[in-house]
Amino acid sequence: MQHDLQHTISLLARTPTALNALLRDLPETWTLCNEGEKTWSAFDVVGHLIHGERTDWMPRAKIILQSGESRPFEPFDRWAQERESRGKSLGELLDEFTRLRSENLSELRRLNLRPEQLELRGRHPALGVVTLSELLATWAVHDLTHLHQISRLMAHQYREAVGPWREYLGVLHCAGHSA
Interacting residues toward a copy of itself by CB under 8 A: 1-4, 6-7, 10-11, 14-15, 17-18, 20-22, 26-27, 29-30, 33, 124, 127-128, 130-131, 133-135, 137-138, 140-142, 144-145, 147-149, 151-152, 154-155, 157-158, 160-165, 167-174, 176-179
Q: Is 36 left (phi over 0), alpha (psi -120 to 50) or beta?
A: left
- What dihedral do alpha carbons 10, 12, 13, 16 form, nearest 10°? 150
Task: Report the chain's C-alpha Rg in angstroms.
Answer: 18
Whichever of 110 and 126 has its CB closer to a copy of itself, that residue is 126
Whichever of 14 and 83 has its CB closer to a copy of itself, that residue is 14
Nearest approach in angstroms of CB 30 to a copy of itself is 6
Q: How far is CA 123 from CA 49, 63, 101, in A?
A: 22, 9, 24
Whichever of 103 and 167 has its CB closer to a copy of itself, that residue is 167
Question: Of 39, 49, 61, 60, which is closest to residue 18 (Cα–Cα)?
Answer: 49
Whichever of 11 and 111 has its CB closer to a copy of itself, that residue is 11
Cα 126 off chain centre by = 19
Nearest approach in angstroms of CB 135 to a copy of itself is 8
Q: Which amino acid is at 116?
A: E
Nearest approach in angstroms of CB 97 to a copy of itself is 14
